[in-house]
Structure 1
Amino acid sequence: MPVAASAATSPFEAFFELSPTPAVLYEPVYDPAGKLVDFAFFRLNAAAQQVLGLPAQPTSTYRTQFPGAASAGFGAQQEQAFVRRTPVEASHDQHPYGLDGAYRVRAERVAEQLLVSFIPLAPEAAPAAADAPAGNEELRAANRQLAAAAAAVELARAEAELQRRQLHHVLEQAPAMICIFDGPAHVFQFVNPPYQALVGERRLLGKPIAEAMPELTGQPIFGLLDQVYQTGETYYAHEMLVQLDHLNEGRPELEQRYYNFIYQARRDVAGAIDGILVFAYDVTGQVRARQQAERARQEVDHLNEELAATNEELQASNEEYLTANTALSRAQQDLQQLNQVLEVLIAERTRQIQEQSNRLERLIREAPAAICMLDGPDLVVELLNAEYQALFPDRQLLGKPILEALPELIDGPGAALLRRVQQTGVTFKGRELLMHFARPGDGALEERYFDFIYQARYDAAGQINGLVVFGFEVTDKVRSRQQAEDLQAELLAATRRQLQERETLYQVFEETPAAICIQRGPEHRYAYANAAYHDFFPGRALLGRPVAEVLPEVVDSGVLALLDHVYQTGETYYGEELPLLIAQPDGSSRWMYFTFTYQAYRENGEIVGISTFAYNVAEQVLARQQREAQQRQLQAVFAQAPVAICVFRGPQYVLDVVNPLMGDMLGHAPAALVGSPFFEALPELTSQGLPELLDHVRETGVPFRAQEQAIHLGRHQPGEVGYFNFVYEPLRDAEEQLIGIVCVATEVTEQVRARQQVQDLNEELAAINEELAATNEELQTSNEELQDSNQLLLRTNADLDNFVYTASHDLKVPITNIEGLVHALQAQLPPTAQALPEVEPLLAMMQQSVERFKRTLAYLSDVAQLQQEDGQAAADVALPQVVQDVRQDLLPLIRETGARLEAELADCPAVRFSPKNLRSVVYNLLSNALKYRHSDRTPLIQVRCRQEGRFTVLEVQDNGLGIPKRRQPELFQLFRRLHSHVEGSGIGLYMVKRMAENAGGRVEVESEPEVGSTFRVYFPR
């Protein structure tokens, strides 16, 4: 009874099940040493299940299921076909698989399986092709899974590429100087271009800072880094002096630069500190501008002190002058005589005053500060130096009131400050005071900043008679500071934005399904890895360790060579589905397939590491490999299938697949047909209704099956047609859209013509059948008599009554009838008809079947006779004489095989047993020992006899083939034969056992394959 075919889960299964030829797929079975020893059943198609009478997937193996075929040598041929990948064929009339009729068995390796097909040799009408299993839904599901997997891979790749570009842009384009130190040695892991510019072409990446920047020894940098790494506390530096050899000239005097920077601890996923992030800004210009302004203020203060001392001297001189005048006035009358002396003194003092005045004027003119003296209530510019005039190069200042020469002071704070100092005498010191003056040339007001002092000047009477102005223009300094402050604020904001973006990116990295890591240095030490990357390698500590140490299984896979290449050349590498066998924490190994990108990681334009974006695409790869294996298997089955197969695509029915049998059937090479519209390649089919059939299948999606369709092909003669069985089966994609049509066809021209001939013969035989009817009635009477005899036998032996009755009654008479019919048919058919190729094999097969049944009936007769002889009287029989008689009967076979027969029966007593049955027992045991001999050694048969309790034991030992222990219970079953390479009936040992048991004895056997067997028959005394 055939097993119903399950729904096909792939195109291969659909075609496999559609094949009308019985076919079996096996999988190889290997021993622990890796030697091929057997084949396990993988799948039987519906036709094979029906012919062999087996389920779709038996649990046994080839050798256990078909011992006759294996021992007949076809098992070795199958192994040869699988190992050498060379097809083998064998034809069998009496087939070892237990099949009736002649078959050609073909074995051929398909991928990692063995395909065995059973092809009938007789030209008989083929049964209708089995309905193809409904596999469309499974195909659509598979297509949907493929589409989803492809979309997921494409989306993941796009996300990974976007994240890679964002990270690269953020780090490379940041306006601040950024670097990342790795580990307690502070190894440069990342350096952006502004940071690299600090030391020009000097290499930083992969080196500890103490090695890369040795000139920092003695400066506080190393200690600050250690402090942050050990405590985790962020350090903020403001205008810190750092000296580096910026031009890499090795000079002992290092340039002084000032920096604002942040040292922030970096932590791994476990929260442990594993590095330091650095964000720095060069504020040297700002610091130097402030220092320059400070020095200028100090110079102004020094000048102010000197001017103050000069004023004191002038004040003292004025006081002395007034005292002298007063003394002269009081003593004018009495100092007449001293006039000459006084004139001399006055002239001397006047000279000194003039020298002091000249020295003051010279000091004013040569002072680096802007100085002017304003005289009188109108504050007329009485004296000014070049520095003051240079502040207003297009103005005439000397001799003019200051508010006339500089009218802009009126609307600004200058005029009010001048008047206040003029009125109060209180000195005013201005710091970076904003004033507006007309710009030379276009007269537009511009903002200018000044540091200045307004100081009252006194006359001899102590009255304010003018002002002294000391000043510096600090516009550039103020603007530099403002720019520095703006830049610092901008950089601080940028730093904060970069930090936020970095945190955001890291958060994105942690949440993205892509596995991301950053490896630094030539050893490719892990500096960062997100959760998805850690999931690839559970239980492994990655950060801070090189790839070769963390992942030793990738050393021989080429991964390190790829990393080295990217690190050395900067060329991005895109890997597709790289297979890696990764050890798991439980000790097992797991195949993983990676699609990944290796991209050089640069700092300051120099490669310092590699960034990796990876996906585990094992599911897609395994699914695709399975699909490819199925496709290869499908292609192999297409090419090797015993039926013609092709696939049509599109409304023009373009041939997408054409196997060799289809090419032969259509009369064209497959390569010439593939890619061509079907009806353009075979125009003779256009008018035979096939376009309409295909259109109907394409429009409705309903399969079409044809039986013995008459078709005229180009290879046929004019007016000739061939007959074909074929199926048009629709193929659908994941959206249930029809994408093609599969055609599976077999040519049945010979079968149709043979059937037509047989029909003609049947008409001729009809008359013969009528004549045989009377003969059948006579035979029926004989059958009734035989039935009475069978009933008597049933009463004699209850164990065999049904079997003997069936054999004697239900089989013998029909076989006799059939044999008579065959003889009658042969007598009635003319010799020419019997010689026809369609008829002669059929007659031979019928005759052979009759002969086989007759032999079987003869064996049954022996069994029945044994039942009748159970009651024979026992007598004392000399066993040595019986053995000697049997030896004489077997002497030709003994000489042919060169066997040695050794008998130790001298002390053997007489056996109480039926003489005829005893001879039958001895004959069966000795003849079996000769028939089932081992081909590699000379047969040795030892016959012994001994007393054991109440039994006389006959022991026959040989060195033949031996019997596996698990099959020894089958030895004594009726018609059971364990070796099919020699002739036999399968009833000999059954009869030995039955005769011994009927006399109250028993039979035992010990056997070992490749060693031999020992049979012991226990006769009661």
Structure 2
Amino acid sequence: MPLSVVPSLTELVIPAGLLDTSETGIMHFQPLYAAGDPARLVDFKMLRLNPAAQRLLGLPEFPTGSFLTLRPGDTAAFQFYRFTYLAGEADSQNLSTLPGWQALAQRQGPQLVVSLMPTARPSQDAARRAAADGALARAQQANQQLTQEREALRRVLAHTPAAICLLRGPEYRFEYVNPAFAQLFGGRPLEGLPAAEVLPEVLNQGFIALLDRVYDTGETFLEAEVPLASPQPGSQQHPQYFNFTYQAHLEDGHADRLSVFAYNATEQVLARQQIQHLREELQAASAALAAAPQRLENPDKHVLTPPADRPAVEPPHLLHLILEQLPAAVAAFVGPGHRFAFFNDGYQVLASGRARLGHPVADLFPELVAQGFTAILDEIYATGQPYWGERQPARLYALVSGQLAPEPKYIDFLYQPLKSAQGQTQGILAFIVDVTEQVLAQQQAEALRAEAQAATYRQAQEGTALQELLAHTSAAIALVRGPAHQFTYVNPAFERLFPGRALLGKAAAEALPEAITHNLVALLDHVHQTGETRVVPAMPLTVAQFGNQLATVLYLAITCQAYRENGQSAGVSLLAVEVSGPPHLHGS
């Protein structure tokens, strides 16, 4: 029959010392209901047995099955437990399957606590019952205190922006998942299921192999800037980047649980990528600016190129340990004076070792009063509303000089009110992440962006000046591209050599048919194919005129130089100066 477990965040926890030393067998049960019918109690999950109960029933401390699956012949005891749980009153009954023993059962919240005791003689019955009642009362009182502490820690983990989960055993079954971790995987159900089964996509990413390593060695492992794609199929969103910490928690020298902590580092990664991109653009712009003035001064080295077109019971101390080891600053304040009730090592590092338990924030950090942080705490305590601050500058006194630090730290922080069962604010949880590196990276990116824009403007100005220079020089300059020598640029002096002709966009042989006769096209072919620079002291060129004008014979001193793109010859730059006649008249 399909079963469903009643969800509960207050599973019973009894101190190990009391369980181990008690002569009474103590068992903790959790009711199981029929799937789809939460009103029909059909079995009990056996949460935990103390040593005395383990010896009586021959079961381990944490049985893996339900009561009826482990003791199928004990239906009378099950009916007694079921009646006692539903009635909500303590009751006792002799056990037919354990002659000489009786069960004392009492409902405790959503659970059932059962004490197994020897059947006493009438004269001893009252005393033994009183002793059993006292032991049960002490266990219930200890459980209530531990449950309250555990609930407070769960509230802390539920409101942290970091993603946290607990995994148990070699199958890595999810014991606890906070909302931030569940959101990483689209909110799918995780608790109670093996990681490989519920997250099949992580197998190819080496996630399970990494867990195996931590589980086998017990060594903490850090993994920085891990990309996680969107959990929604077909999503076009860019991946997010997370810093992961994997830590083993040992029992008797062996790993029992693994904790996984992840913090979103997407902004830091994108800021660094943006900085690198801007640096490359700036370097390119700077190189272009440096080269532009030299292109005419040193034609052998520079040519004019056209522009290219991502439930089991856990001990309270484990959750406390997680808070201690979070790579973030965590503190809790109590009362209207905001006295320190808890802080982890990360907070003490951020506070330069000045935090003290029991002391008000304003007394230990008077500089924060002037910066408005204590006023925020006062408002939260009065209104019961949380407060989220992003990239807030904060300056603390330096321990050596006693003066405010010259440069502020930038923090993201969450102030979350901690309320009693009656809804009254009793304290405030502070969760703080130092984002100074991210803010400085963004500031650097903005500075580089501004510098790149200025460089682009200067380059445009230089380009305009260069065009002006080429337009007024007496030398005829042209650029041809590709094996057909297509004209991509001609200055006014070059156009005056061939008046009335449309040159741009046409091949040299088409625009200047006389260039074929006088081997100018052959010269361009040679330079384009070999990359060699060629100089002709005086090339005669018969230029056909339009209208009734006679053809003109020009003598041109021509320099042809190849320009390259991506390591390949892309075209030829041509510089021509008119000379007075053949070489024998003026020398080479």
TM-score, normalising length from structure 1?
0.26
Larger radius of gyration: 1
**Greater share of strand residues, 1 or 2?**
2
TM-score, normalising length from structure 2?
0.42
**Greater share of helix residues, 1 or 2?**
1
